[in-house]
Amino acid sequence: MATAFTSEEKEVIRKKLHKVAKECLQRYGVKKTTVDQMAAMVDISKGSFYNFYSSKEMLFFTVLEEYQIDVMNRLTEQLAMEAKIDTNRLVELLYDLYQDFRYSFMYTIFKNNEMELLIRKLPKEAITNHHLIDDRMVKKIVSRINIRENVSVEIVSALFRTIAMTILHIEEIGEKQFDTTLKLVIQGVVEQITKEDR
């Protein structure tokens, strides 16, 4: 008979599962991580794992969304704290955001080409909800910067994804030149989508 967890125990276990998921994603990736492995690391049974998440992919997707929301919220908060965001400051903030991504557990998933594998195993409604979160987050960011009239939220979102994808090609771009190149790409994008106050 399965042990019933109190609401406090459930919250502790959920946090442990999220921590373990991040560690496993960074160390092993999606394919090589198993439910058995994560359940053992959290000290729960495999059956108990499924009381929290329907699959390892749902757990991974949940921590990916949490990471993305946290990063975007931090960027929005930084934008809100400053009375005026000029082009150079926005470039700095975005550059820091992408460097954070580069050294995160998320980078491993993209680098190992496992994002498609993860998404294929998710229910369609999880993907639909994720796109709604993306749109809301980008709208919050766009509301804090002086954007050109002909640039839509969808374009800004696509440009953010494009910049993120360059990080997957560090070797091809050149390790020594990458940081400078990344900053120049961000600067070019920011200059094209924003307008300076006159």
Name, in order, each residue with C-beta under 8 angstroms of 151's C-beta and a sequence gap of 6 or more: 192, 193
Which range (20-29, 40-49, 132-141, 184-193) has the least confidence? 132-141
b/e per residue 34-62 (b: at least 16 CB within 10 A): eeeebbeebebeeeebeebbeebbebbbb
pLDDT at 2: 52
Mean pLDDT of the region 55-75: 91
Alpha-carbon distance 73 to 61, whole Å? 18
Tell me the per-residue pLDDT of 43-54, one tens digit each, with 9 for 90 and over: 999 999 999 999
131-142: pLDDT as tens digits: 777 777 888 888
Q: pLDDT for 153-170, tens place per residue?
A: 888 888 988 898 888 888
